[in-house]
Every structure is written in structure tokens, then in C-alpha cells.
């Protein structure tokens, strides 16, 4: 069992992440926005590092409250947004990609049963990562939210919206939409 210090550190690191997400809501393209997003990215990397298999939070994850899972999800979302945007140039991309993978492993450590929310969240983020990591058009754009509400949850909602768009685009490209219409008609 962890001492109060580890739990306090987890909450403080999580608070830095949630406060850093507000920089994504800024619609200006000012330098302070970029600096704020990169600080949020560094906070996310640090939280993921502390949650990874050798980190001080790793033993807490299977027993932690939902807040730890939400924070890992937010941290993974921040890393995803930064590394799949033009801001990737300001980071150590390969270290960020390793951190993203570590976040997905840590998310799955929060799981209490097969295919629960932490597992599904990790699967969705991993899917969006695979689709976007080599998208050259996306790599020319600054990180932006498509949904701006619910404070820190905007990052997750925007990621889910992007996943939905990518998933529908992939389904339409394979012709699956005709199968769906056929099922609705019958």
C-alpha cells in the first residue's frame, strides 16, 4: 500500500494536467498558448512516467479511484494532440511516443474487469494514434479542440469526436455503410 505522499503527489500531478488543458481552449495562436500547451504536455509526460511500471504511482493504479484513470486518459490525450500536430517539432517525438504507449499500458492497469472503461479508453486512443501519427496534413496544424465545453473534458470529447469521424470515414471507404443501410431497411 502506498503512503499519503504518493497519493498527494498523484493528485498534484493530476491537477497540473487538468489546469494545463485550459491552454487548448484558447483559440488564439499566440506564443503563450503554445508555451502553455507544451507545459501541459510536459506535465502529462511526467504523470505517465510516474504511472508507468517502474513509477511511484504504478502500485496505486489497480486500487485507485476513477480520477487516476481520467488523469491518465487526459495525459494520453494531451500527448496524442501534441505529437499529431505541428507542435511535435518542440518535443522529443520518440520519447513522447514511448510515453503514449506507457499511458495505454497504465490505463489498462486501472481495469477491474475485461473490456471495462479503462480498456476501451486505451483502445480508442490507440486507434486514433495509429490513424493520425502519419497524417501529414494534421502534422501541419496546431492542436485545436473541435468541442469546447466541459473544461478539461473537452480534450477527451474532441478526441472521441475525431475517433468517430475517422471510424466513419474508414467504414465508408470499405463500403460498410451499404451494409448498415441494408440492415436498417430490413
One-character DSSP codes across 83-150: HTSGGGGGS-HHHHHHHHHHHHHHHHHT-SSTT-HHHHHHHHHHHHHHHHTT-TTGGGSPP--S---S
pLDDT at 1: 41
103, 48 Cβ separation under 8 angstroms? yes
pLDDT in tens, 3-14: 567 778 888 999
Cβ–Cβ under 8 Å, residues 138 and 88: no
For the stretch 24-43, pLDDT in tens is 888 887 899 999 999 999 99
Mean pLDDT of the 100-119 span: 90
Output the pLDDT for position 36. 95
- pLDDT value for 27: 80
* More confident position, 38 or 147: 38
- Mind listing the pLDDT tens digit for each residue in 148-182? 665 555 677 777 777 777 777 777 766 554 444 34
H-helix or E-strand containing 14? Answer: helix 4-20
**Lowest-confidence range among 51-60, 78-87, 89-98, 110-119?**
51-60
The domain ranges of the chain are 4-185
pTM value > 0.85: no
Amino acid at each position: 500500500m502506498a503512503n499519503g505522499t504518493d497519493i498527494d503527489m498523484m493528485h498534484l500531478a493530476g491537477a497540473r494536467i487538468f489546469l494545463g488543458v485550459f491552454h487548448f481552449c484558447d483559440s488564439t495562436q499566440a506564443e503563450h498558448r503554445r508555451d502553455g500547451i507544451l507545459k501541459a504536455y510536459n506535465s502529462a509526460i511526467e504523470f505517465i512516467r510516474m504511472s508507468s511500471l517502474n513509477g511511484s504511482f504504478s502500485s496505486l493504479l489497480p486500487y485507485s479511484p476513477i480520477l487516476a484513470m481520467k488523469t491518465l486518459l487526459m495525459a494520453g490525450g494531451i500527448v496524442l494532440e501534441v505529437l499529431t500536430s505541428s507542435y511535435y517539432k518542440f518535443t522529443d517525438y520518440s520519447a513522447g511516443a514511448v510515453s503514449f504507449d506507457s499511458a495505454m499500458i497504465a490505463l489498462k492497469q486501472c481495469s477491474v474487469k475485461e473490456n471495462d472503461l479503462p480498456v476501451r479508453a486505451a483502445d480508442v486512443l490507440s486507434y486514433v494514434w495509429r490513424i493520425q501519427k502519419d497524417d501529414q496534413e494534421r502534422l501541419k496544424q496546431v492542436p485545436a479542440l473541435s468541442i469546447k465545453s466541459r473544461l478539461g473534458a473537452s480534450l477527451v470529447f474532441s478526441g472521441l469526436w475525431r475517433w468517430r469521424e475517422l471510424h466513419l470515414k474508414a467504414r465508408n471507404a470499405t463500403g460498410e455503410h451499404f451494409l448498415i443501410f441494408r440492415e436498417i431497411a430490413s
